[in-house]
Amino acid sequence: MRRCFFTVVLAVGLLGCALVPSPGTAQDGGVPQVGDVFPDLMLPAPQAPALREYLGVGPGASFSVNQVDADVVVVEIFSMYCPYCQREAPVVNEFYGLSQRKSKPGKTVKILGIGVGNSQFEVEVFRKKYQVPFPLIADGDYRVYQLLGQTRTPHFIVVKRSADGSRRVIYSQAGSFGDPEAFFHKLVGDR
């Protein structure tokens, strides 16, 4: 009877561990859709000071998308192993350049990539190959990928900050976002 009791306690404990999300992360709720709040999952902060400064994240080891210092944050879910992502890399770089030139107070746009299933080495290979100037975060164990609904790559999710400081997803789509300039103006609401 006593052994049985301990088995029940162990089983319930394990079940609890499995069901309760880690602190600071969201449960797997599928791909964030327009109108959703982006999951407050923690990502490892880039090592390079310039990239940390770009994101506006502090000295901590991790940050969340909702902490990025920008009115609009574009999150690219990509993989070094994804031929579509490879093909789109120059277009995404062009978008970054455009957003750096055209961002203005109240309409700042920043971008970061999450390399799903990619080790740090693989993310660096992608960065060097395509000379990616914006932060790329390695998600080697697919943790972020699973939390974001295991979409196909590339997938772009855009989070916009409202006047009251709250942030919502305003764009969520797999595949190319098309012309970088048109996409930029669409995101900041110029057109």
Partner 1 sequence: MKKRSHTRGLACLVLAAAVCLLAPRPASAVSEMFKGKIYNPGHLKPIDSVAVLKVGDPAPDFTLPSIQGPRVTLSEYRGKKNVVISFVPAAWTPVCSDQWPGYNIVRDLFEAHDAVLLGITVDNLPTLYAWTQEMGGVWFPVLSDFWPHGQVATRYGVLRSDGVSERAIFIIDKKGIVRYIHVHDINKRPPLEDIIGALQRIQGGS
Footprint of partner 1 on this chain (CB under 8 A)? 1, 4-5, 7-8, 10-12, 14-15, 17-19, 77, 79-87, 116-117, 119, 121-122, 125-126, 129, 142, 145-146, 150, 152-155, 174-175
CB of 180 to partner 1, least distance (A): 18
Exposed e or buried b per residue across 148-185, where buried means at least 16 C-beta atoms within 10 angstroms of its C-beta: bbebebbbbbbbbbeeeeebebebbbeeebeebeebbe
**Cβ atoms 74, 91 nearer than 8 A:** no
* CB nearer to partner 1: pick between 12 and 37: 12
Nearer to partner 1, 81 or 107 (CB): 81
State the minimum distance, in angstroms, from the CB of residue 65 to partner 1.
19
Between CA 126 and CA 104 the distance in angstroms is 29
Q: Could you tell me the smallest distance in angstroms from the CB atom of residue 74 to partner 1? A: 17
Cis peptide before 154 (omega within 30 of 0): yes
Shortest approach of partner 1 to residue 19 CB, angstroms? 7
Closest distance of CB 83 from partner 1, Å: 4
Residue 66 or 150 having the CB closest to partner 1: 150
Q: Which of 122, 114, 98 is nearest to 183 (CA)?
A: 98
Cβ distance to partner 1 smaller for residue 14 or 182: 14
- Coil/strand/helix, residue 170: strand
- Of 127 and 167, which CB lies nearer to partner 1 in the complex structure? 127
Buried residues in 67-88 as b, exposed as e (16+ CB within 10 A): bbebbbbbbbbbbbebeebbeb
